[in-house]
Amino acid sequence: MKILVIGSGGREHALGWKLRQSPLVSELISAPGNPGLAELGRCVPVKADDAAELSAFAMREQIDLVVVGPEAALAAGVADRLAQIGIPCFGPSQAAAELEASKAFTKDFCARHNIPTADYKVFDDAIYAKAYLGEREPPFVIKADGLAAGKGVVIAETRREADAAIDEILFLRKFGTAGQRIVIEDFMPGEEASFFALCDGETAIPLAAAQDHKRAYDGDKGPNTGGMGAYSPAPVFTDAARDQVMEQIIMPTVRGMKAEGRPFKGVLFAGLMITPNGPKLIEYNVRFGDPECQTLMRRLKSDFLPTLLAAAQGDLARAAPLEWDARPAVTVVYAANGYPDEPLTGSVIRGLEEAAQVKEVVIFHAGTKRDEEGLLRAAGGRVLNVTALGDTLRDAVTRAYAAVNAIDWPGGFCRTDIAWRALD
Ligand code: AMP
Ligand code: GLY
C-alpha cells in the first residue's frame, strides 16, 4: 500500500515511523514532511492545509490511505475532498471537525447528549456575559469559541480579571474571529489526562492515555505551549476510568455525531479532568495530541495500518485488538531558545546519531530542516522529540535525558522535570 501522511511535526514523524514498519506498506510519502520523515520516504512540498492540491496529489499517485496529522488540514476539508474521489482518509470531515473548531458547538453537543462536562453558557454580548459571572463562583473559566492555537482560555480568580478577559476577547478581538463568541464554564478541580479513541463513524475503540506538560518551564511555570513533554500510560487514568470514559463520553459522542449527520471518523482526543466525581470532558480535539502521539506510537506493538484503514473505511468492529507495550514511554520536547514567543531558528543541531544510540530511544523531528550542506538546523518552535521506553517510568525518563544530553545543540532548551507528577 502507498500511504500519504499529511503534516510536518513530531506527531507526523511518529505516525510515519510506526506505519513504515508495517509489512503492508510499499511506500510512505509525506506532505510536506520533515527531515525525519525524509528518511522513511519521499516528501512532497504541498502544504498541509492545501486541500485541493493534496487530493489531486493523492489521486495522481494512487494513494491507498491518507493519514492526516494536523487539525488545519481537517478544518480545510481534506477529508471531504478525499471522500469525493474515493480515497480512504484517516481523519474527520470538516463538519465533524467542529468538535475541535467550536467550543460552543461541543458544549451544546454535550448538553444534548448528556456527556459529563462543566456547566456553561455561550455569549456574544459582554454585558450578559459579565452578568452571568454574578451567578457563578470563582475561579471563572472563559474561552474563545474558535481555534486559538491553545491560547484562547483564561482562568480568572476574580470578577475583575474575568471582566477583563471578556472585554479582551469580545471587544478587543484578541483572538480575532475565534472570539466572536465565548464560553464561560465552571472550574473543574482535578488532574488532567489526554485520552485517545479511534472512531469509524459508527463505533470506537480505546487507544491509550497520556499526560502532557503545557507550560514552558520547570515546575509547570511560564507561558502555555503546545506541549513540552508527555508520558504514557497516565497513572491517574485507571482501567475503570477508561471504561467510564468510553461509556459516558466517547460512545455517546460517536452515536450523537452520527445521529446529527456528522459521523466522526478518525481519532477523538478527549482532554479530561479526573475529578472527585469521575472523569469529565474539558475539550475535544479531532487529531492526535502532539507530543502525546509520540509516546503512544512508541508503546504500540501491533501493526497500526490495518486499524487506521478500518477506521477510515467504517470497519473498526472487525479490526484486530491492539497490543500495547506495558512499559511506559516518555517524550521530552527539545525546543528552540525563545519558544513559545519568538523561537530563534537556524541554529545547527549535531549529535543525533550518537543520542539515538541510547537504549530504547527514538528521536522524532518536529521542527528541523537540512540546509544545502546537509547540516540539520532548527526550523520551528518545538524542534526535536526525544522519546524513550523504560522498564519503569524513572528508567524511561533517565534514558530520554541521557539522549538529550548527547545532542549538541546550544540553540535549544527543554524542561528537566517531564513526568514529575507521576514520579512523585
Ligand atoms: P482547553 O483549551 O479547553 O483544553 O483549555 C486549556 C486548559 O485550561 C486545559 O488544559 C485546562 O488546564 C484548563 N481548563 C479548561 N477548562 C477548564 C475547566 N472547566 N476547569 C479547570 N480547568 C480548565
Ligand atoms: N499536546 C496538546 C495538543 O496536542 O493539543
Give, for ligand 2, the residue of 285, 286, 297 to mutate: max count of ligand atoms closer than 8 Å to Cβ.
Answer: 285
Q: Which atom of ligand 2 is nearest to the CA of 11?
A: 4
Question: What are phi and psi for residue 40, nearest 5 degrees?
Answer: -105, -15
User: Does domain 119-186 correspond to CATH entry 3.40.50.720?
Assistant: no
Q: Does 2-93 match 329-423 in CATH topology?
A: no
Q: Which residues of the chain have pLDDT under 70?
A: none
- Give 74-97 as a 3 state SS string: HHCCHHHHHHHCCCCEECCCCCCC
Q: Where are the alpha helices (DSSP H) in 156-223?
A: 159-166
Spans of all domains in the chain: 2-93, 119-186, 189-318, 329-423
Write the CATH number of the domain with boundaries 2-93.
3.40.50.20
Strand, coil or helix: 404 = helix
Q: What is the pLDDT of residue 418?
A: 98
Select from 3.20.20.450, 3.30.470.20, 3.30.390.30, 3.40.1190.20 the CATH code of 189-318.
Answer: 3.30.470.20
Q: How far, in Å, from the CA of 85 to the mean position of ligand 2? A: 31
C-alpha dist (Å) from residue 330 to 10, 165, 233, 268, 422: 14, 35, 9, 21, 11
Q: Which atom of ligand 2 is nearest to the CA of 288?
A: 4
Please report the sign of the dihedral spanned by the C-alpha atoms of residue 241, residue 386, residue 49, residue 225: positive
Cα distance between the two ends of the chain: 45
Q: What is the pLDDT of residue 235?
A: 92
Q: How far, in Å, from the CA of 11 to the mean position of ligand 1? A: 22
Cα within 13 Å of Cα(167), Cβ side: 6
pLDDT tens per residue across span 305-364: 999 999 999 999 999 999 999 999 999 999 999 999 999 999 999 999 999 999 999 999
Q: What is the pLDDT of residue 151?
A: 79
Q: What is the pLDDT of residue 424?
A: 81
Contact 384, 358 (CB under 8 A): no
**Closest ligand to residue 193's CA:** 1
Q: How far, in Å, from the CA of 419 to the mean position of ligand 2? A: 16
Kindly state the cell numbers that stand for 410.
546550544
329-423, what's its fold? Glycinamide Ribonucleotide Synthetase; Chain A, domain 4 (3.90.600)
Closest protein CA for atom 8 of ligand 1: 153
Q: Which atom of ligand 2 is nearest to the CA of 285?
A: 5
